[in-house]
Structure 1
């Protein structure tokens, strides 16, 4: 059995660093019931569409690692989130008939040989009852599927979000909150964030 975590460090008696397992989080009610015809790691640009998704572009990446910091290869990372209007690509989502058709809504990618993954997606936005977040799932063949959520540093609604604040351990809670910084060197007007996924195998 494995658990999902993000990069934070605790001291070990022997002096080595161990990555702290982050709390698992709910998959939520809006995991896709069907997938886009073309699934990749760029959620901003739907395959074959001329226009791109609404919202500020965010380049989110990181690595899949074990608790000693070694890359976990062979993993597949999934993300899903609401569009820039706060609407999910899901038939039971409020406002679904107004979902941004230029937003893929769901992405999937295999990690590289060094455990690296990357997504290009809109910066997440709030919707009633939730602070901005991105849902994550990591599938490791022969091990299982592990789910968490990534939150955005500095969002005022973080202080009132029930799921985020249900994480009682402050260090674990901090580990799922990611700063999004200017990334004009990557794409004009875009943001970037790093969210490492640490698995206890």
Structure 2
């Protein structure tokens, strides 16, 4: 069996018969697995909606933690870039605390971490955020929540994990993803030479308005 045929077979078995309609060349791009939104999506997103989570409007300080640039592309499964698409991310601060009233753990909140940001993809489907390398949250491996809004459809939601993080293997939500699809949710945070950012990571969203939900989301924990 050829590499393309074998991959196509795995996609159909994992994602449903709808994938049979995809062109053969498209099977090289596997849909990004979806995941649950989680309990800490902002109740009221901050008024200063931007793509730099390491600054808070009205404050001079910068967020604690390893400042990181997260960038990538949003495309259809056939490789077509999705331009003008809204992308959101949210995560806990370097202390492991979310900017959310339901997060009542004892950790102090970092007043210089915005906790939520959004941007819009350019003509090539590219996006970029400045944030921090995610840290563990009680009971969870380091992760960044992300939503993509393709047109007027229901947003595609997933979580971005850190490649090489030992806690991934014990994380309940990460382990719910079929093993052969888990690499699609990993981002490598690598050192960079930048006046501000210590690390940079790349993560691509591959989705289709009609097929984005085939691999998720799983039931909320």
Name the counterpart of 2:61: 51
5+ residue gaps, structure 1, are 1-9
SS at match of 1:16: helix
- Residue 48 (structure 1) shift: 2.6
Name the counterpart of 2:4: 11
5+ residue gaps, structure 2, are 9-22, 210-221
Name the counterpart of 2:136: 126
- Residue 21 (structure 1) shift: 1.2
Name the counterpart of 1:5: none
Q: Deviations over 1:33-59 (max 9, x none)?
A: 112121100000112311001100110
- Residue 68 (structure 1) shift: 1.3
Structure whose residues are more often helix by fraction: 2
After superposition, the CA RMSD in angstroms is 1.8
**Structure 1 residue ranges (4+ consecutive) displaced by more than 6 angstroms after TM superposition:** none
Name the counterpart of 2:165: 155
In structure 2, C-alpha distance between the alignment counterparts of 1:125 and 1:143, rounded to whole Å: 31
User: Could you tell me whether the CA contact under 8 Å between 1:88 and 1:96 is conserved in 2?
Assistant: no
TM-score when normalising by structure 1? 0.88
Question: Residues 80, 188 of structure 1: CA spacing in aligned structure 2 closer, same or farther, 3 A cutoff?
Answer: closer
Q: How many residues align?
A: 190
- Residue 188 (structure 1) shift: 5.1
- Residue 15 (structure 1) shift: 6.0
In structure 2, C-alpha distance between the alignment counterparts of 1:15 and 1:32, rounded to whole Å: 40
Q: Deviations over 1:117-151 (max 9, x none)?
A: 00000110002110000000001223321100000
Is structure 2 residue 20 aligned with structure 1 residue 27?
Answer: no
- Residue 196 (structure 1) shift: 0.5
Is structure 2 residue 202 aligned with structure 1 residue 194?
Answer: yes
User: Could you tell me whether the CA contact under 8 Å between 1:59 and 1:121 is conserved in 2?
Assistant: yes
User: Could you tell me whether the CA contact under 8 Å between 1:32 and 1:90 is conserved in 2?
Assistant: yes
Structure whose residues are more often strand by fraction: 1
Which 10-residue stretch deviates more, 42-51 or 81-90? 42-51
User: Could you tell me whether the CA contact under 8 Å between 1:21 and 1:172 is conserved in 2?
Assistant: no
Q: Deviations over 1:35-91 (max 9, x none)?
A: 212110000011231100110011000011001111011210000000000000000
Is structure 2 residue 167 aligned with structure 1 residue 174?
Answer: no
Which 10-residue stretch deviates more, 138-147 or 95-104? 95-104
TM-score when normalising by structure 2? 0.81
In structure 1, C-alpha distance between the alignment counterparts of 2:33 and 2:112, rounded to whole Å: 32
- Residue 97 (structure 1) shift: 7.6
Bigger Rg, structure 1 or 2: 2
